[in-house]
Structure 1
Amino acid sequence: MKAWMFHGPGTQLELVDVPDPTPAPGEVVVDLKAAGLCHSDVGITDGTLTEVLGFTPIILGHEASGVVSAIGEGVTTAAIGDRVAISAMGDGTSGVIGQKTIGIGRHGAYAQKHLTPASELIPIPDEVPFVQAAAATDAGMTSYHGVFVRGGLQPGMKVGIIGLGGLGLTGARMAVLAGAEVYAAEINTDVHAAGLERGVKHVVNDVTELAPFELDLIVDFAGFGTTTAGAIEAVRHGGRIVQVGVGQQESTINTYLLAMKDLQLVGSVGGTPADTVEVIKYIASGGLTIATRTIGFDDIPAGLDEVARGVKGHRLVATIGD
């Protein structure tokens, strides 16, 4: 099979031929159909996050979907021909970046085939395209976890979303579908319309402009310091702020307001396989379409370069095979 191999920081991905994988007991082989391109892979290739890898050279890519093509001994939860996604978080017990997870501790999705434990498969209904399923495993999962698990969203809540990039648009749409009243702050006015099209009631340039709406929850998908500080100003007394984005590693916030408004400020990273399942349910219902743009398998290195420069409002997903 063909795969894009990463040898280390400062090197280009190399297209190589490697033997087709053979499943051991408890494993399956998936013929990949789609692989999402994530900014964390840019961090790996530029040296910022390379230390998380279990080994090199390695095939990167942790957002994957495809069709089961071979089954190892003892596997009873999957059959050849099953449409599946592969959990970006392993089986959910190995932490956010577990050393056995796809594209981190074992070869990943920038390849034609992938060997995975059967325990990490997530079934895909026929009505969910492979491209959407791949995006659901990370972009969708991370959005869901921040809004619903860490944010505790309930129907009827007033929710603010900071940043209408790929994660923010997805999180906003799921919040709308769950019965929340959703507002958003986004500095790039070109994507305001995309938020409104997804059911956001009002979009402003700066989060502090959302203060009059007395929001119960604000989820910050940007994380540029000023956005965190602004969320503390804007959220209602007793509200909650969830920090997902880390566009800037440090922030100066008003701790007086944090205390006097009796606020909760919590972090959120990644998610769980169960979160991905919920995202796929939203997609299957017809209510959610994650904003994506597809590229070819041969274009993965150029796609990562584009991600490094900044992709606004959608996820790049490589299509693989026929």
Structure 2
Amino acid sequence: MKAWQFEGTGKPISLNDIPEPQPGPGEVVIDVKAAGLCHSDIMYMQVGEATMPFLPMTQGHENAGVISALGAGVEGWNLGDVVGVCTSGARPPAGMFTPGGFADKFLADARDLARVPEGLDLALAAIATDAGMTSYHAIIEVGGAAAGMKVGVIGYGGLGQFGTRAAVLAGAQVHVAETKDSVWDLARAAGAVDVVRDAGEWAGQGFDLVVDYAGFDTTNKALEAIKRGGTVVQVGLGKSTFTVNTPTMLGRTLVGSLGGTVQDIEKVYALLLAREIEPEYTEIGFDEIGAGLERLRRNEVTGRLVARFGD
């Protein structure tokens, strides 16, 4: 079968022929139908050689498709079931520490499967497994966004668009900071009451919660925006390090959020099916994944890129 693989730092992702996976106990094989492209893919192409357990590594951690083989002991799932795969569940993260879904077939732990409801487009099902899950978990489950809260969202990209809408649906007053003004109208349409270019403009404005989906040394700006007793949730990994002014931390909470759960994915699936969340995304073909990652690197993508392939 074909797979897009990372072969080493400084090298472009390569389309290679590899053996088809075989399911072991508790595992399933999925015929991949859609796979999202993420900035984390770019990050791991920059530093992955030092962290990945082996090379080449098939990338792709936002995956949805159809179960085509069952390992011994798998219960509750059948051949032909349509599923998404949680990226932070029982199995180490796909595309980073285990082979991912930029391939014709993908091996998954059955405990990491989320059932895709009938009628939900598989492109949406794929991007909900990371962009949807991670953003929802950070702003709702970790941040606790709720009615009456003043909430800031830093970065209106693949994750920020989900997080913004989830907080709006929870009844929060949501403000967005985004450098790309071409997406400001999308943020307003999702329910944001205000959009600014720089989160530094929020200093001293008494936010209850700020979720940083960007991570381009924006964390201190988030801390300066929240009131004493407020919370900043760090999600974005735009840069590997950031600077925080120590006095700004006093009386405030800074917490990181990584991934989410199968239950988070299924909650996002329900919101997508009801069209309560309508994320911006662009479809490409399987053979365009390499070029699509380069578009991401150049910051030429609005929302999310998702590769659709198979019948």
Instruction: State whether TM-score is above 0.5.
Output: yes
| Alpha-carbon offset, residue 212 of structure 1 | 7.4
Other-structure match for 1:152:
144
Change in CA separation of 1:209 and 1:63 when aligned onto 2, cut-off 3 Å: same
Counterpart of 2:78? 79
2:4 corresponds in structure 1 to 4
Contact between 1:43 and 1:50, CA under 8 Å: does it hold in 2? Answer: no
Q: Distance in 1 between matches of 2:174 and 2:135?
A: 14
* Separation (CA, whole Å) in 1 of partners of 2:139 and 2:182: 24
CA distance in 1, matches of 2:289, 2:119: 26
Q: Secondary structure at the match of 2:227?
A: coil
Equivalent residue, structure 2, for 1:281: 270
Match of 2:302 in 1: 313
Shifted more, 308-317 versus 117-126: the winner is 308-317
What's 1:102 paired with? 94
- For residues 104-253 of structure 1, the aligned pairs below 5 Å read 104-210=96-202, 214-225=206-217, 227-253=218-244
Following superposition, the deviation at residue 108 of structure 1 comes to: 1.4
Report the CA distance shift for 1:77/1:239 in structure 2 as closer, same or farther (over 3 A): same
CA change 1:267–1:113 in 2 (3 A) is same
Question: 2:22 maps to which residue?
Answer: 22
1:219-246 C-alpha deviation (Å, 9 max, x unpaired): 1222233x32322322223211112223
Q: Answer yes or no: is 1:303 the counterpart of 2:292.
A: yes
Asked if structure 1 preserves the Cα contact closer than 8 Å seen for 2:204 and 2:224, the reply is no
Farther off after superposition, 111-120 or 277-286? 277-286
Counterpart in 1 of 2:252?
A: 263
Alpha-carbon distance in 2 for matches of 1:114, 1:252: 39
Shift of 1:122: 0.9
| TM-score (norm. length: structure 1) | 0.89
One-letter identity of the residue aligned with 2:9? P
Distance (whole Å) between structure 2 residues aligned to residue 228 and residue 86 of structure 1: 30
TM-score (norm 2): 0.92
Residues 1:58 and 1:147: Cα distance change in structure 2 (over 3 Å): same
Aligned residues: 311
Match of 1:34 in 2: 34
Conserved in 1, the CA contact under 8 Å of 2:203 and 2:221? Answer: no
Gaps of 5+ in 1: none
